[in-house]
């Protein structure tokens, strides 16, 4: 009977420890990550230390997942004004290559699903490095758009991947209209143009269309785990800046303009 009594007492102590100490902290952490993952919540701008940390992590990620890379048109980032960087999105490491090359801290808009990864724990480092969440469900992204406009009008460098989720088969997906609308509204509030920097990232090797059968987080995990197969380098091209007042008034037509500017930078000219 004694071992059974000891077992019962031990389980009771563990339950009490969980209920009194661990569960409240976990619930507090969950409330915090829920807030960070809310579309429309804008965390504080990244600190200098956070920016340095992100650049270190970016170097490590790129070394393991990508290998060598070539940069073209880096001088096009030197804009004495408000800028929005608009790359295509063909890999989960895209934000890391941008962070590695930018001398200044930037703000990134990311799908809410990225923030909810690992029960929301991924939202903590993401938000501290400058990212904020957007609900990609049609009609629900307006709060994130308002955050983005606040970022741009405050003079912070803003990075947005107009495709939304990454298209990891190497073919550029359709662009959402958010990038165009954010730039136009920011320019209206500033009473001066905002600059878009069209950017194309071409990787040395992509998975086939089969990978699109999986949810995006699983796609990212597959490519991460199979990095020896896909560590084939990349070329990133920064195009000449486009002023917001050079885009057409119609959002759909302006988005197509932006898409053509991005696709036109593809080093291999595989997209049309």
Predicted confidence (pLDDT) per residue in 84-140, tens digit? 999 999 999 999 999 999 999 999 999 888 888 878 888 899 999 999 999 988 888
Residue boundaries of the structural domains of the chain: 44-263
Res 27: pLDDT: 77
CA proximity to 99, closest of 65, 53, 167, 145: 53
Distance CA 131, CA 117 (A): 14
271: pLDDT strictly greater than 50: no
pLDDT digits (tens, 9 = 90+) for 229-251: 989 999 999 999 999 999 999 99
Q: Residue 192 to residues 86, 134, 155, 184: CA-CA distances in angstroms?
A: 19, 26, 12, 10
Task: Please state the pTM of the whole predicted model.
Answer: 0.88
Higher pLDDT, 14 or 49: 49
Query: Which residues, other chains included, contact 44 with Cβ-Cβ below 8 Å and sequence gap of 6+?
Result: none
């Amino acid at each position: 009977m004694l071992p059974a009594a000891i077992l019962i007492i031990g389980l009771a102590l563990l339950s009490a420890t969980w209920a009194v100490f661990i569960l409240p902290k976990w619930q507090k952490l969950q409330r915090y990550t829920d807030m960070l993952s809310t579309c429309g919540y804008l965390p504080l701008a990244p600190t200098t230390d956070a920016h340095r940390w992100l650049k270190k992590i970016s170097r490590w990620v790129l070394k393991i997942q990508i290998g060598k890379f070539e940069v073209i048109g880096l001088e096009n980032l030197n804009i004495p004004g408000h800028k929005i960087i608009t790359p295509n999105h063909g890999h989960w490491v895209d934000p890391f290559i941008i962070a590695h090359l930018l001398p200044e801290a930037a703000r990134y808009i990311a799908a809410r699903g990225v923030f909810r990864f690992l029960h929301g724990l991924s939202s903590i480092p993401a938000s501290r490095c400058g990212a904020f969440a957007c609900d990609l469900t049609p009609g629900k992204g307006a709060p994130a758009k308002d955050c983005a406009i606040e970022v741009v009008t405050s003079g912070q460098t803003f990075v947005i991947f107009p495709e939304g989720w990454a298209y990891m088969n190497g073919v550029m997906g359709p662009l959402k209209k958010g990038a165009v609308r954010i730039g136009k509204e920011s320019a209206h509030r500033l009473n001066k143009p905002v600059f878009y920097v069209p950017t194309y990232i071409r990787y040395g090797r992509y998975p086939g269309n089969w990978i699109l059968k999986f949810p995006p987080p699983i796609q990212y995990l597959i490519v991460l785990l199979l990095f020896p197969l896909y560590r084939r380098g990349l070329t990133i091209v920064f195009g000449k800046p486009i002023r917001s007042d050079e885009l057409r008034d119609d959002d759909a037509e302006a988005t197509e303009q932006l898409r053509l500017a991005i696709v036109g930078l593809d080093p291999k000219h595989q997209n049309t």
